[in-house]
Structure 1
Amino acid sequence: MNLKSLLARPFANYIYNKIAKGMETAVADQQHILKSLIKSAINTDFGKDHGFSNIHNYEDFKKQVPIRDYELLKPYIEKIKEGRHNVLWKGKPIYFAKTSGTTSGVKYIPITKESIPNHINSARDALLCYLAQTGNYAFTQGKMIFLSGSPELDRIAGIPTGRLSGIVNHHVPKYLRGNQLPSYQTNCIEEWEAKLDKIVEETYHQNMTLISGIPPWMQMYFDRLMEKSGKKVGELFPNFNLMVQGGVNFEPYKAKIFESIGRKIDSIELFPASEGFFAFQDSQTEPGLLLNTNSGIFFEFIPATEIFNENPTRLSLEEVKIGENYALIINNNAGLWGYNLGDTIKFVSTSPYRIIVSGRIKHFISAFGEHVIGEEVEAALLKTANEENIKIVEFTVAPMVQQNNEKSYHEWFIEFENLPANIDAFKQKVDNNLRAKNVYYDDLITGNILQELKITQIRKNGFIDYMKSIGKLGGQNKLPRLSNDRTIANALAPYITQV
């Protein structure tokens, strides 16, 4: 064991014990954070506009602060971009995290000196929990990679501005800099495929022990490595023993990624976003991600079925129930207030508070009243794929509204690693599994309102080429699992396999 590993052991145990104690005080911590946030922002423009001086508890807060998305918060953001201080939070942000919005175009998410530890320490804590629980310190002795956006930052009103992963890159501890790959110069390459080729070149002969990133782009990296070497990734990197992933549900990619590695290795799942680092996998044996209840964020939860209501039910942590689908609302020490993140989660445990990410509010199909969500289509497809020993590369689902009295249906666009022996039988199983997950969809099929789903095959690398065509290949970009219209479906026409 080298010096770095020896130094990591006591720190890992210290952090792990601290997190374990925090599991028992989560509700009290949340109450304290809300009071602290209000007190700190009482003299900001937002605090004055929303009567923070009259807020004494959560009930007061709900009356004074409405739920907002980025568009409704944007007027305050624009003030900050003009150089104003004390707008959403005291002083001004130390960064803007620049991210692409579905309807808002480019979004500028403030990060303050108070909120930056949430982004930096949460990933660290996830690794330290892993170290403390498993005693596996081997990965600290080799090279580590995070497939991220460019660390080069622009400035808006003097505020450094860039992708969150690029911002975080500037905060990698010095003691890990010698282990970090790729080089700064390579990370600055904007064009994803050119960057990927350079990453392969820089890492090919290295002792890689930890690889992290968004699963579809890790898979692209693995594919390039295997093309170059003719070996499985685990053979090329014999000491590669830990993978860290986040950004999308890992399950649809899991089988193919582990096949590319050639052996089972440990993995840690994270739930980060430009707006905050919300949860991380703290255990290799328990399901779900531990909610970050003492990291400058006060969470609220709205039943997902009510998110578009004028006055939805707003719940604090102590009011949530296991298995319910909630829209995640955040209030944080960067000045996001009643902020509708757009993600939905479910609690798998309330002692401690562990969650799974179930989908996106805007990523659903309810063209016929079925309100199918991402978690349901992923579960239906994966159950079938596992039973049939089929590996899925990527997929998305859209409604097909038929004319002339023909029955409508859900169209599944799937890129297969290996084709089912009987595609019709495979389709039937997926449809049955989705019906078992969603009673409304089942009713529509039973009532002959909808016909069973149809599968449209996407050619090899078709989704990669589609993402490239819209300028969203690589980095933190993700393909929506579900759409409630045909925009993506129509754009996929050039990538369909002709059978």
Structure 2
Amino acid sequence: MSIKSFLAKPFASFIYNQIKKETLTAVNDQKKILEMLIAKASSTAFGKEHNFDNVASYEDFKEAVPVRDYEQLKPFIERVKKGEADILWKGKPIYFAKTSGTTSGVKYIPISKDSISNHINTARNALLCYMVLSGNYSFINGKLIFLSGSPVLDLSGGIPTGRLSGIVNHHVPAYLRSNQMPSYETNCIEEWETKLDRIVEETINQNMTLISGIPPWMQMYFDRLTEKTGKKVKDIFPNFSVMVQGGVNYEPYKAKLLDSIGKPIDTIELFPASEGFFAFQDNYKEPGLLLNTNSGIFFEFIPAAEIFNATPNRLSLKDVKVGENYALIISNNAGLWGYNIGDTIKFISTNPYKIIVTGRIKHFISAFGEHVIAEEVEYALLKAATEENIKIVEFTVAPFISQTKGKSYHEWFIEFENLPTDLSSFSKKVDENLRSKNVYYDDLIAGNILDELKISLVKKNGFIDYMKSIGKLGGQNKVPRLSNDRKIAEELSPFVA
């Protein structure tokens, strides 16, 4: 056992036990975090405007602070960008995480001296929990790859600004620096395909033991490795034992990723965002992500069906129920208040508080009143694909509103790794699966208002070419699962077989 592995053992055990203790005090920890946030921000411009001195309970907080999206918080952020201090949080942010929103354009999300540890320590904690439960400490002796954005930072109002993954890159612990791949110079390359080729060159002859990134990135990386060598990933990296992923639902990519690797592998799922690191898989053997209830973030939950109501029902942790779909709302120690992050989650357990991510609030189809969400389309497709041993590369769904006598329907754009033997039969299975998950969709089909879904085949690498065509290949950009209009469908049309 190396020195690193030897030293990691007691530290991993200490952190694991601490996390387990905190699962028993989650509700009380959340209460204390809200009290701390209010007390520390009472003298800020936001705190004064919202009468924080008079907020003594969660009920008071809901009265004082409305739910906001980025656009509604933007006037405060613009003041911070101009160099003002004590606006949303004490002092000034130490970073802005720059992210491209689908409706708000570029967003500048503040990261404070108080909040940076949430971003850094959560990923660490996930790995330490994995070590304790798996007994696998040896992977930290090999090379670790973090497929991230460029660490090059600009300045906004004197505040270092860049992609979250690039910011976090500056905080990799010194004891892991010598293990980290790719090189800093390669990480700084902006053009994704050039960067990917360089990553392959730098890593192909290394002892890679851990690979981390969002699933579509990793699949591109694995494909390039295989193209170059003609080998499965397991034969290129025989000691590769841990895959860390997040950002999108892993399940649609799982079969193809594992086929590319060529062997089963331990996986750890994370739920990070520019606004905070919300949850992580504390037990790699079990589904669900442990909510980060003691890390400077106060969570609220709005039933997803109410999110667009003028006065939605806002719940704290103690009132959530297993199985209900919630919009996730956060307030944190970087100055986000009642902030709607745009994601929906579902609790699969309240002892401890474990969640799954079910989709994006604005990614749905309800062109005909069906309100189909990402969780439902992913279930419908993956159930059919698993039954027929079909591997899916990528997919998205859009409504097709008939302008003629024919009926309207949902159009599914799918890139298959291997085609179904009978596409019509496969399409019918997917449709039946979706009907079983969504009663409104089922009623529309049964009532002869909608036709059964139709599949449009996307060419090989079609989604990669599509993302390249709109300037969003690589980075943290992902293909939306669902759209309520035809914009993506029309942009995809040149890439349909």
TM-score per shorter chain, which class? over 0.9
After superposition, where does 1:174-185 map in structure 2 within 5 Å?
174-185=174-185
Distance 2:386 2:281 in 1: 24
Residue by residue, what CA displacement relative to the aligned partner does 1:247-274 show, whole Å, maximum 9, x if unpaired? Answer: 0000000000000000001000000000
Q: Counterpart of 1:383?
A: 383
Letter in 2 for 1:115: S
Shift of 1:284: 2.1
- SS of alignment partner, residue 492 of structure 1: helix
Name the CA distance, whole Å, in 1 between partners of 2:332 and 2:321: 23
Tell me the equivalent position of 1:464.
464
CA distance in 1, matches of 2:53, 2:328: 26
1:63-102 correspondence runs (5 A): 63-102=63-102
CA shift for structure 1 position 197: 0.2
Whole-Å separation in 2 of the counterparts to 1:34 and 1:105:
30
Cα deviation for residue 134 of structure 1 reads 1.0
Shift, 1:404, TM fit: 2.8
Match of 2:426 in 1: 426
- Residue of structure 2 in register with 1:151 after alignment: 151
Structure 1 residue runs of 4 or more that deviate by more than 6 Å after TM superposition: none
The equivalent of 2:334 in structure 1 is 334
Partner of 1:411: 411
**1:211 is matched with which residue?**
211
Could you say which residue in structure 1 is the equivalent of 2:291? 291
2:12 corresponding residue in structure 1: 12
2:304 alignment counterpart: 304
Q: 1:256 & 1:429 partners in 2: Cα distance? A: 21
The separation in 1 between residues aligned to 2:58 and 2:260, in whole angstroms, is 49
Q: Secondary structure at the match of 2:199?
A: helix
2:130 counterpart residue number:
130
Which string of whole-angstrom CA distances, capped at 9 and with x for unpartnered residues, describes residues 209-255 of structure 1?
Answer: 00000000100000000000110001110000000000000000000
Matching residue's letter, 2:100: S
Whole-Å separation in 1 of the counterparts to 2:232 and 2:397: 31
Task: Give the secondary structure class of the aligned counterpart of 2:278.
Answer: strand
Rounded Cα–Cα distance in structure 1 between residues aligned with 2:195 and 2:287:
35
Listed as ranges, the gaps of 5+ residues in structure 1 are none
C-alpha distance in structure 1 between counterparts of 2:326 and 2:407, whole Å: 32
Q: Give the Å deviation of 1:156.
A: 1.1
How big is the shift at 1:405?
A: 3.4
How far apart, CA to CA, are the structure 2 residues paired with 1:226 and 1:117? 37
CA–CA distance in 2 between the matches of 1:360 and 1:189?
A: 30
Amino acid at match of 1:335: G
SS of equivalent residue, structure 1 residue 24: coil
> Could you tell me which residue of structure 2 aligns to residue 440 of structure 1?
440
2:371 corresponds to 1:371: yes
Distance 1:24 1:103 in 2: 39
Q: Distance in 1 between matches of 2:225 and 2:198?
A: 11
User: 1:168 and 1:348 mapped to 2: Cα distance?
Assistant: 29
Distance (whole Å) between structure 2 residues aligned to residue 89 and residue 137 of structure 1: 39
Q: Which residue pairs with 2:231 in the alignment? A: 231
Residue 321 (str. 1) matches residue 337 (str. 2): no
1-structure distance, mates of 2:287, 2:175 = 31
Contact map agreement 1:400 1:408 (CA 8 A) in 2: yes
Residue 50 of structure 1 is matched in structure 2 by 50
Do structure 1's residue 261 and structure 2's residue 264 form an aligned pair? Answer: no
Q: Deviations over 1:164-221 (max 9, x none)?
A: 0000000000000000000000000000000000000000000000000000010000
Contact 1:147–1:475 (CA under 8 A) maintained in structure 2: no
Q: What secondary structure is seen at the aligned counterpart in 2 of 1:63? A: helix
1:361 aligns with 2:367: no
Take 2:219 and 2:253, find their aligned partners in 1: how far apart are those partners?
8
Residue equivalent to 2:198: 198
CA-CA distance at 1:406 after TM superposition: 2.1
CA deviation map 1:288-328 (0-9, x unaligned): 00000000000000000000000000000000000000000
Query: Aligned residues: percent identity?
Result: 74
| Ranges in structure 2 where 5+ consecutive residues have no aligned partner | none
* 1:221 aligned residue: 221
Q: How many residues of Structure 1 are paired with residues of Structure 2 in the alignment?
A: 497
Which stretch has the larger CA shift, 399-408 or 423-432? 399-408
Equivalent residue, structure 1, for 2:402: 402
SS at match of 1:472: coil
Aligned to 2:119: 119
CA-to-partner distance for each residue in 1:388-409, whole Å, 9 max, x for gaps?
0000000000000001332110
Aligned with 2:483: secondary structure? coil
Contact 1:76 1:87 in 2 (8 A): yes
Once the 2 structures are TM-superposed, how far is the Cα of residue 157 of structure 1 from its aligned partner?
Answer: 1.3
The CA deviation at 1:475 is 1.6
Question: 1:438 is aligned with what amino acid?
Answer: N
1:473 aligns with 2:466: no
> Which residue type is aligned with residue 110 of structure 1?
P
